[in-house]
Amino acid sequence: GAVVSQHPSRVICKSGTSVKIECRSLDFQATTMFWYRQFPKQSLMLMATSNEGSKATYEQGVEKDKFLINHASLTLSTLTVTSAHPEDSSFYICSARAASGRSQETQYFGPGTRLLVL
């Protein structure tokens, strides 16, 4: 089945620093990748949608200058949390949809990155 990886799995940083999270589709090409955020005991909230080679589309209320998304290739998207603050502490999950084939119907999720900002 389709595999999506994320790195790092866990990160602790100081307030004011920036953190980059990588999302890779390992065995398929993904034209579209999605970034979600999940707070404890809550559901996944879509932050932004990124398409390879174009600017990301952000959901209402998500600051594009704070959450920088780059989708440079068909297998890699990155999310950079700039000037992180404690309220940005959350579980960040990416997902990817295949460019073609049966997998195109499904979004596959990465294992998530737990961010703690001190």
b/e per residue 56-71 (b: at least 16 CB within 10 A): bebeeebeeeebbbeb
Q: In the complex, what is the shortest distance from the CB of residue 83 to other proteins, in angstroms, rounded to a whole number?
A: 25
Query: Which tokens go with 47?
Result: 């932050």
Query: How far is 70 from 112, CA to CA, in rounded Å?
Result: 17
Q: What is the CA radius of gyration of the chain?
A: 14
7 is an interface residue for other proteins by CB under 8 A: no
- Rounded to a whole number of angstroms, the minimum distance from the CB of residue 49 to other proteins is 4
- How many residues in the shown chain lie near other proteins by CB under 8 A? 23
Examine residue 78 and tell whether it contacts other proteins (CB under 8 A): no
| d(C-alpha 67, C-alpha 81), whole Å | 5
Contacts (CB under 8 A) with other proteins, residues 13-72: 32, 34, 42-46, 49, 51, 57
- Judged by the rule CB under 8 A, the positions of this chain that interact with other proteins are 32, 34, 42-46, 49, 51, 57, 91, 93, 95, 97, 105-112, 114
